[in-house]
Chain A
């Protein structure tokens, strides 16, 4: 593999890893702070992708679609938390698994009723639809770079929100000791709503920005969900930093697995997970 090719694969793995991080961060935040196992997280990714397709069709602009779509996702997440999830914080994990599995069915069918079962594609925005030439016959699409940039910006924003702001302080306090935080007069119910909506929004944004490079199709959430689980397990459940490291690692192993040993590409990531768990049964960054 020559240098240009290696660079392309590295950029691809970085982009995939960052996308996985956006999803895994939401999943692990919701688990770490509310203790909810959310199998329906992949559905939010699917929702984002379909929203992007639908809104680009209406407004003919990906940026408008992303802004509107994010707002819709936040409202949707908030409603869902208020209607269903808040009743399940103290329930068994098993009940949460079941609840969210039932939700997968419901979301999948709602998607089918609203938008049909066809495979769609979302065009790359005109402005970003060009490539940076690396050698005579290799080039790298700008959209993928911008996508990685957006992910990095959002990851930074998330970090600042959680570690530097007053709201972030309350979130951390709530995750540490719910009763104590509540008795200090902090509205935990509100915090939970915010965190859940944030998680849903992150997953939906991931779906929206990924839509132009991967097509939009039924059931697209489930494969992504399983990858997210792997990331969260490798990183250590509840740890956002662990999710970042693990997502980049998974991106590398998956991308280079496909290039170097395509026969076992589907399994490579799971082998990595098994290896990590053999040495660290609770993930790399157990809190």
Chain B
């Protein structure tokens, strides 16, 4: 598989400015009194969760050049883990259910990664998808695991610590800020990782894996580590999703969910994590917009996707960069 096109790893000022603006707007949003019933608060929380999910995929897709069409499996596994951990009549402590769920997703990614990471290009796409389907059917066919109807989570995790109950996740606004905090943390962590020696090796693998091996890097180990880490971070998103919606069903780990994540990353721009965030927000917004517009929203969504692939191969951030460059070079 040829290496994906230009990556825009170092973000130009214009894009950094947009990110800061976005972060401030997100932080200020709950202070605006217009949102009766918290509908937009919940929608934004979901977008932020999907942004974390998209970033986790970008580590594989944009940075390492491994396109996983089964990434939703790890998202779903962590969500289901929370569902199984939470008893029917009481909340569970956040402080151990989050790490356990995320570790569960990471472990699954490690095992599956062992199989899939040895394959390349198009095989990788198909094999990741097939393994995700295996996980999907495991949950879909088994009544014990909730079956096709899914499974409810009656309580959000309890974040009290040694009797201090300052964080109440049942409160929508608190949950919103908790999600925002995790979004920022994951972004900062991944940005740091991108320019660490480990991240440089991953980027090198994307550009030319044979050369990296010739130089002496164990590419298998690095790719497996990236796959596991991406699975863990997808688990963070899945955990948050399950906690927020209080419901998990197999569709959340299916083929469509995985493909959505790929599209979010492409739409925003690959390989810098900022694009994944922008893409997740833009994709969800467009989908909501089309759904409000017409019953036949799938037709519009499909055409939108096709147009994006044809005309904006570097995503929205690519467009912003091109635009700002033009202005800088203008006399």
Which positions in A face B, CB cutoff 8 Å?
Answer: 31, 37, 39, 84, 87, 91-95, 97-99, 101-110, 112-113, 222, 226, 229-230, 232-233, 237, 263-267, 270-271, 273-274, 277-278, 281-283
Given A92-B1, A112-B296, A270-B133: A105 in contact with B305 (beta carbons within 8 A): yes
Q: Say yes or no: A109 contacts B141, CB within 8 Å.
A: no
**Distance between Cα atoms of A233 and B129 in the complex (Å):** 11
Q: Report chain A residues within 8 Å CB of B304.
A: 102
B138 at the interface (CB under 8 A from A): yes
Given A110-B299, A263-B142: A97 in contact with B262 (beta carbons within 8 A): yes
Q: Report chain B residues within 8 Å CB of A110.
A: 299
B263 at the interface (CB under 8 A from A): yes
Q: Which one of A98, A109, A226 contacts B262 once the chains associate, using CB atoms below 8 Å?
A: A98
* Shortest beta-carbon contacts, A-B, top 4: A105-B302, A266-B137, A102-B305, A106-B302
Pairs across A and B, CB under 8 Å, 25 listed: A31-B122, A39-B259, A87-B310, A93-B1, A93-B125, A98-B263, A98-B309, A101-B263, A101-B305, A105-B298, A105-B299, A105-B301, A105-B305, A106-B303, A109-B302, A222-B255, A230-B130, A237-B122, A266-B138, A266-B140, A270-B130, A270-B137, A274-B115, A277-B115, A282-B123
B126 at the interface (CB under 8 A from A): yes
Q: Report chain B residues within 8 Å CB of A266.
A: 137-138, 140-141
Q: Report chain A residues within 8 Å CB of B263.
A: 98, 101
Q: Report chain A residues within 8 Å CB of B130.
A: 226, 229-230, 233, 270, 273
**Distance between Cα atoms of A229 and B127 in the complex (Å):** 8
For residue A31, which residue of chain B has the nearest CB? B122
Q: Report chain A residues within 8 Å CB of B298.
A: 105-106, 108-109, 112
Q: Which one of B2, B123, B313 contacts A237 once the chains associate, using CB atoms below 8 Å?
A: B123
Given A92-B1, A263-B142: A37 in contact with B309 (beta carbons within 8 A): no
Q: Say yes or no: B122 contacts A37, CB within 8 Å.
A: yes
Q: Say yes or no: A281 contacts B301, CB within 8 Å.
A: no
Interface of B is mostly: helix
**Distance between Cα atoms of A91 and B130 in the complex (Å):** 24
B86-125 vs A, CB cutoff 8 Å, 1 = contact: the mask equals 0000000000000000000000000000010011011101
Which interface class (under 10, 10 to 19, 20 to 34, 35 or more) fits B? 35 or more
Q: Say yes or no: B309 contacts A233, CB within 8 Å.
A: no
Q: Say yes or no: B123 contacts A233, CB within 8 Å.
A: yes
17 A-B pairs besides A93-B1, A233-B123 with CB distance below 8 A are A37-B125, A87-B310, A92-B2, A93-B121, A102-B306, A105-B305, A106-B299, A109-B296, A112-B296, A112-B298, A113-B299, A222-B255, A233-B130, A267-B138, A270-B133, A277-B119, A281-B123
For residue B133, which residue of chain A has the nearest CB? A226
Q: Say yes or no: A278 contacts B125, CB within 8 Å.
A: no
B127-158 vs A, CB cutoff 8 Å, 1 = contact: the mask equals 10111011001101110000000000000000
Q: Report chain B residues within 8 Å CB of A267.
A: 134, 137-138, 141
Q: Say yes or no: B141 contacts A102, CB within 8 Å.
A: no
Q: How far is the CB of B129 from chain A (nearest CB, A)?
A: 6
**Distance between Cα atoms of A273 and B128 in the complex (Å):** 11
Q: How far is the CB of A285 from chain B (nearest CB, A)?
A: 14
Q: How far is the CB of B17 from chain A (nearest CB, A)?
A: 28
For residue A98, which residue of chain B has the nearest CB? B309
Q: How far is the CB of A241 from chain B (nearest CB, A)?
A: 18
For residue A275, which residue of chain B has the nearest CB? B115
Given A105-B301, A277-B119: A95 in contact with B259 (beta carbons within 8 A): no
